[in-house]
Amino acid sequence: MSLQDDVIADLKARFADRVLGEGSHVGQRWLDVKREGILDLLRACRDDHGCDVLMDLCGVDWLDKGMPERFCVVYELVNLKKAEHVRIKAWVPEDDPEIDTASDLWKAAPWAEREVYDMYGLTFRGHGDLRRILLPDAYQGHPLRKDYPLVGHGERQNFPRYGL
């Protein structure tokens, strides 16, 4: 059994009421979970299964593709001793785009969460420093949402003119 099989079996047994489903692609499995109590699952991964690195935390917008919710936050965890990955997907609804921050568990989380906030407009409860990280502070909207127009809402034209 690989680490991902262990973790998925264990989490399904211990947090049965929070699991929405699971899936796999090219041999990589993941667990779909509700956002409520996501920290309990992540803490179990870290403390009981040795996932000591949060390799990535990113958002996905599925818009109307028939997923459990519109947004999901993907946690890519790594156990450095075994050199294996574990993937957790937490689903976040459109009308209340909020989820608990993982910054107490991994120090790598805050910047990644700021990027998700910047690009998707998901807020992270308890983050403490949730500012835009890539776009200018005054930017309106969240451009990686699938219903955001490709050319923006006119931000490209609304700067002061220089030297004229």
Partner 1 sequence: MGLDSWMAEGAMTTRVTDLVSWSRKNSMWPMPFGVACCAIEMMATLSSRYDLARFGAEAIRFSPRQSDLMIVSGRISLKMMPVLGKIWEQMPEPKWCISMGACASCGGVFDTYAMIQGIDRFMPVHVYVPGCPPRPESLIDAVIKIQEIITTERANRAVSA
CB of 78 to partner 1, least distance (A): 30
* No. of helices (H) and no. of strands (E), the chain: 3, 7
H or E stretch at 88: strand 84-92
Determine the distance from the C-alpha atom of residue 108 to the mean position of all C-alpha atoms in its chain, rounded to a whole number. Answer: 13
CB of 136 to partner 1, least distance (A): 5
For residues 80 and 106, the answer to whether their CB atoms sit within 8 Å is no
Residues 37-76 binding partner 1 (CB under 8 A) are none
Residues 118-147 binding partner 1 (CB under 8 A) are 134-136, 139, 143
Rank residues 15 and 148 by Cβ distance to partner 1 and give the closer one.
148
Q: Give the chain's end-to-end CA distance (angstroms, integer).
A: 68
- Binding segment for partner 1 (CB under 8 A), chosen from 10-18, 25-33, 101-109, 149-157, is 149-157
Strand partners, 56: 76
Rank residues 27 and 163 by Cβ distance to partner 1 and give the closer one.
163
- Binding segment for partner 1 (CB under 8 A), chosen from 22-30, 88-96, 106-114, 155-163, is 155-163
For residues 112 and 58, the answer to whether their CB atoms sit within 8 Å is yes
CB of 144 to partner 1, least distance (A): 10
Of 25, 26, 131, 157, which lies in the binding site for partner 1, with binding defined by CB under 8 A?
Answer: 157
Determine the distance from the C-alpha atom of residue 13 to the mean position of all C-alpha atoms in its chain, rounded to a whole number. Answer: 23
DSSP 134: S
Applying CB under 8 A, the residues found at the interface with partner 1 are: 134-136, 139, 143, 148-152, 155-157, 159-164
